[in-house]
Homo-oligomer: A and B are copies of this chain.
Amino acid sequence: MSSTRPSGSEPGHDVVIVGGGVAGLAAAWRTARRGLSVAVVDPAPGSGATHAAAGMLAPVSEVTYTEEPLLRLGLASLATWPAFRAELEDESGAELDYRTEGTLEVARGTDDMAVLDDLAAFERTLGLRVERLTGRECRSFEPMLSPSVRGGLLARDDAWVDPRRLVRALLTAFEKAGGTLVAERAAGIVLPGRGSPSVRLTSGGTVPAGRIVVAAGSWSAALLPGLPVRPVKGQILRLRGPRGFLTRCVRGLVHGSPAYLVPRGDGEIVLGATSEELGYDARVTAGGVYELLRDARELVPGLTELELAETAVGFRPGTPDNLPLIGPTGPPGVLAATGHGRNGVLLAPVTAEAVAALLTGGAVPEAALSCDPGRFHS
């Protein structure tokens, strides 16, 4: 994060990307790799929704499998994750804590089990490897699971990654590819009558750009008024325990809410997440923390002994149809890459690929065509 230049003196770039979360940085890296001169404007890369994110790469879950375009997009991105990860780790020299032990989706009652059976049947039609497990089998995989777990599904193709490591690796790879980080806050986009647009900084300087990509998450509508993106507040907890307390991601429906536990290699366990339509209310609340702990505890009772190491709030960029906004937004030379909701980490590779293709004239991945922001203009 060393490439900051003094404001007011920014040279022009082929592309200026506003927002250094996973979407913006992944797009920046892939675009720089294609030979364009790219700058990312962000005072603190990875400090937005990415900072709170758990990092599951799980396109199919009980909450999304009825949304087909989103599901196809997620599957397309998941398919490219292994190559994306290998290249990124290679170029950055960093490790992402990319884990592939799979997700265990557990059921505690007969009703839950019926829901999981439907889900399993659906996943198999997609060619995904899903195994139906008894409660006993679930506990043999994850001994910390509650005795009340009646059965589950092991989704072997689900993986996960540490979003904070991901941001650091993307930033390193981006800078190694010749990219520039402008560690300042964007105040707006200047669209002259003719000529190229530029990004105005809160410090007063401007960054001239051939083209601009707005990847500012839920704040993107402040730069592109009318863009249908809104903040969906998520509260999320990080526990610290002994390594191996859990090996797999564990998910389950508790009190009607999806709860998940995502273990990292260093013993951290991420408990997520609330979903609240409260605008930019950044408070960690007593009720949010209570419900996350209550629900996770019903899946894994022994977590009560672990340290509560962190509470955090993130604002997922939500859209009316839960699909991202990737593509032209109206003003000439200005693209969007936002609206990824709870799927920013999963969708980073396909988003990067789509943005790079839009900027360099390549083929946009087919699954990403449904993300054209123009769908809200008709």
A positions within 8 Å CB-CB of B: 237, 239, 283-290, 293-294, 296-297, 303-308, 311
Contacts and interface: CB of A to CB of B under 8 A. Distances in A.
14 contacts: A239-B286, A284-B308, A285-B306, A285-B307, A286-B293, A286-B296, A286-B304, A286-B305, A286-B308, A287-B303, A287-B304, A290-B290, A293-B293, A308-B311
Contacts of A293: 286, 289-290, 293
B294 A308 contact: no
Top 5 closest pairs, chain A to chain B, by CB: A287-B304, A290-B293, A283-B307, A286-B308, A284-B308
The prevalent SS among residues of A at the interface is helix
Given A284-B307, A286-B293, A287-B303, 13 more contacts: A237-B286, A239-B286, A283-B308, A285-B304, A285-B305, A285-B306, A286-B297, A286-B304, A288-B308, A289-B289, A290-B293, A290-B294, A290-B304
Nearest to A300: B286
A146 to B, nearest CB: 14
Most buried by B among A237, A285, A303, A308: A308
Contacts of A287: 297, 303-305
A234 to B, nearest CB: 15
A241 to B, nearest CB: 9
Nearest to A306: B286
Contacts of A304: 285-288, 290
A109 to B, nearest CB: 22
A296 B303 CA distance: 21
A296 to B, nearest CB: 8
A288 B305 CA distance: 8
B297 A290 contact: yes
A282 to B, nearest CB: 9
A99 B330 CA distance: 60
